[in-house]
Structure 1
Amino acid sequence: MSIQNLHFFRGLSVLIQVKYELYCHRKAKSNVPKIFQEMVRRHPDKVALIYEATDDKWTFRRLDEFSNSVANFFCQQGFLPGDSIAIFMESRPEFVGLWLGMAKVGIEAALINFNLRLDSLMYCVKTSGAKALIFGGELSAAVAEVNGMLGKNMVKFCSGDMNPESVPSDTKHLDPLLAQASKSPLAQVSPKGLDDRLFYIYTSGTTGMPKAAIVVHSRYYRIAAFGYYAYRMTPNDIIYNCLPLYHSAGR
């Protein structure tokens, strides 16, 4: 058999495997948070994320508990399934925990490029329909520049180091609020299925302003599964992500 045929049949087997798994998840009325929950049940103390800058290691249990606190907090704040919250921060484990926690209750995250400023930043936040903005303390100056254009109803949360003098006066420090929130799973989980919205990503904006692209649960799972099977990965492999987490291939 030729190399070309081997590659063809290898690719076909990967495609069939991924389609079958999606079929099973769809039949089970699953979604990304539910699939993640199964990983937590099976491997609670296995490392899920390694933050290279500090060598901080997050287990599946820790990521689960953090995302539960996110879900509980925003539910208590009155956010509902289908609401959108923008995340504007540099890449670190909390970024994953935030969008995952929102997804657990059906809130849709808008993943904003942390290099954007002024009009481009405002455009992405506004087009997402976000009711709140979570930004990293390292981006306080960028948020302060557009604060007057965000509108009075935009709720602002700062994650990480927060200097009260450098952030808008109505900004809330998210970290202590999440620390006080319950880490227990919510009794009511997201009603969303595989074909519903998970979060928004944005194009690079090389021709005009960045444009929002909808990522549904099945698309997110499909991309991850294709990579896993195509590269013949095992549960013991570690993936080094050199891309920002707002990027379609980095998330």
Structure 2
Amino acid sequence: MIDIETGRVFSFEEFNKECNRYANYFQGQGFRAGDVVALFMENSVDFVAAWMGLAKIGVATAWINCNLKREPLAHCIQTTLDETISAELFSCQNVNLYVIGDARMNPRFIQLSEKLQSQRTFEPKQRDVIDFKSILCYIYTSGTTGLPKAAVMKHFRYYSMVIGAAKSFGIYSSDRIYVSMPIYHTAAGILGVGQALCRGSCCVIRKKFSASNFWRDCVQYQCTVSP
């Protein structure tokens, strides 16, 4: 897996260790199956590692459109988290806020990047039953006809969509997948990144779509598929 903006390159072993850092950290914080963590992130390897790591301990993730503000943002979080939240997100005192990057802008942020570095990289303890029927994540509609609506994505549904896309469009494990559309939507998060997670393809991630960089990136990273 390749993160264009940061230049980081991960083998499958290295990426799995990164996922385990998230899993072990949040398990140590008391998170377990049935809990939900909202991801408000731009495209990055960290986005994928966070959701995969949390999935290992049975925690579902809500993939929030990082361009949302005020009421639509509060609505998306409220529909998947137990705590009541107002449109003023940072005024809510009973929701932990984790940040990857610079947390100095707000003392309520928990600097996650530093904490992850000290985490164990082996597989987390299996304390709950996690199977194909377990909820993997919540993916939201675009909200063009109202507020975004959360669609429940279970492990089996995610897997079947990945395999179905591969069979339908002739995608192979030898393909290199270029992902520049938002990972929090189905096309990139499932049909694109899923080819790496479920079928072993290389995934190249750009933070956001760029018309001027699209073909340059595809040539440089030898990409053969883009959802």
Pair in the same fold by TM > 0.5: yes
Q: Which runs of 5+ in 2 are unaligned?
A: 190-227
- Deviations 1:204-226 (Å, cap 9, x if unpaired)? 11122111110011111111111
Deviation at 1:113, TM superposition (A): 0.2
Q: Does 1:191 align with 2:129?
A: yes
Q: Secondary structure at the match of 1:119?
A: helix
**What is aligned with 2:155?**
217
Deviation at 1:189, TM superposition (A): 6.0
Q: Does 1:72 align with 2:24?
A: yes
Give the distance between the partners of 1:62 and 1:130, measured in 2 at CA: 33
Q: Which runs of 5+ in 1 are unaligned?
A: 1-48, 132-143
Deviation at 1:231, TM superposition (A): 2.6
Q: 1:146 aligns with which of 89, 105, 109?
A: 89
Residue 62 to residue 189, structure 1, CA distance change in 2 (3 Å)? farther
> Are the counterparts in 2 of residues 202 and 213 from structure 1 also a CA contact under 8 Å?
yes
**What is aligned with 1:84?**
36
Deviation at 1:127, TM superposition (A): 1.1
Question: What TM-score results when the alignment is normalised by the length of structure 2?
Answer: 0.77
> Are the counterparts in 1 of residues 103 and 109 from structure 2 also a CA contact under 8 Å?
no
Matching of residues 1-251 of structure 1 within 5 Å: 49-129=1-81, 146-148=89-91, 151-160=92-101, 162-164=102-104, 166-167=105-106, 169-188=107-126, 191-251=129-189
Give the distance between the partners of 1:118 and 1:61, measured in 2 at CA: 39
- Deviations 1:74-112 (Å, cap 9, x if unpaired)? 011011211000010110001000000000000000010
Residue 130 to residue 102, structure 1, CA distance change in 2 (3 Å)? farther
Q: Secondary structure at the match of 2:39?
A: strand
Residue 200 to residue 91, structure 1, CA distance change in 2 (3 Å)? same
> Are the counterparts in 2 of residues 104 and 190 from structure 1 also a CA contact under 8 Å?
no
Q: Secondary structure at the match of 1:95?
A: helix
After TM superposition, where is structure 1 displaced by more than 4 Å over at least 4 residues in a row?
none
> Are the counterparts in 1 of residues 37 and 59 from structure 2 also a CA contact under 8 Å?
yes
State the aligned residue count: 186
Residue 94 to residue 130, structure 1, CA distance change in 2 (3 Å)? farther
> Are the counterparts in 2 of residues 85 and 107 from structure 1 also a CA contact under 8 Å?
yes
Give the distance between the partners of 1:178 and 1:246, measured in 2 at CA: 22
Deviation at 1:188, TM superposition (A): 1.4
What letter matches 1:214 in structure 2? V
Give the distance between the partners of 1:77 and 1:103, measured in 2 at CA: 15
**What is aligned with 1:38?**
none
In percent, how many aligned pairs have the same letter? 34
Deviation at 1:52, TM superposition (A): 2.4
